[in-house]
Chains A and B, each alone.
Chain A
Amino acid sequence: MEKDLNERQLDRLVRDWSDDLLGPDIDKQISDSLMDFVDNDDTGIDVDELIDSHIHHLAMEESMSRRHKWKIFISSVAAVSAVIFIVASIYLAENDNSARSRKETFTAENQVKEKSGISNSAKPAGIAVSCNQTPAQPNRKKCQAEKAKETKTASTEQNLIETIAEINAGLADMVDNANEGLNMINVSLLTENLFSDTGHLGGYERIRDEYSSRQHTEEMQNLNIIEANLINVLYEIRNLDIDLNFDNIKTEI
Chain B
Amino acid sequence: MIRLLTCVLMLFVLGLSPAFAQSETQPELRLRQGSSLEGFDYTYISPWMLKSMRQKDLTELKNIPVDKVHHIEILKTKVNGNYESFKHIINQLSDEMNLIGYNRDGDKGVKICVEISPVEVVKRILVIKWGSNGAEHLVTYIVGDFTQEEVNNIFHF
Contacts and interface: CB of A to CB of B under 8 A. Distances in A.
Interface residues on chain B, size class? 35 or more
A201 B47 CA distance: 10
Given A199-B21, A244-B151, A208 B43 contact: no
B45 A188 contact: yes
Which residue, A243, A249, A253, has most C-beta atoms of chain B within 10 A?
Answer: A249
B82 interface: no
A189 B26 CA distance: 10
B74 A235 contact: no
B110 A251 contact: no
B61 to A, nearest CB: 5
Nearest to B41: A181
Interface stretch (A1-9, A13-21, A222-230): A222-230
Interface string B33-75: 0011000111111111101110001100101100000001010
A66 to B, nearest CB: 65
A42 interface: no
A45 interface: no
Contacts of A204: 46, 48-49, 51-52
B147 to A, nearest CB: 10
Contacts of B148: 246
B62 to A, nearest CB: 9
A239 B5 CA distance: 61
Contacts of B91: none
A244 B100 contact: yes
B112 interface: yes
B48 A251 contact: no
Nearest to B47: A192
B106 interface: no
A196 B48 contact: yes
Nearest to B120: A251
Which residue, A189, A229, A237, has most C-beta atoms of chain B within 10 A?
Answer: A237
B92 interface: no
A188 B154 contact: no
Contacts of A184: 41-43
B103 to A, nearest CB: 5
A48 to B, nearest CB: 89
A229 B127 CA distance: 15
Contact of B118 (A203, A233, A252): A252
15 contacts: A181-B41, A191-B46, A191-B49, A192-B49, A197-B21, A231-B57, A233-B140, A234-B61, A237-B63, A238-B154, A242-B103, A242-B112, A244-B100, A246-B114, A251-B118
Interface of A: 180-182, 184-185, 188-189, 191-193, 195-199, 201-205, 208, 226-227, 229-231, 233-238, 240-246, 249-253
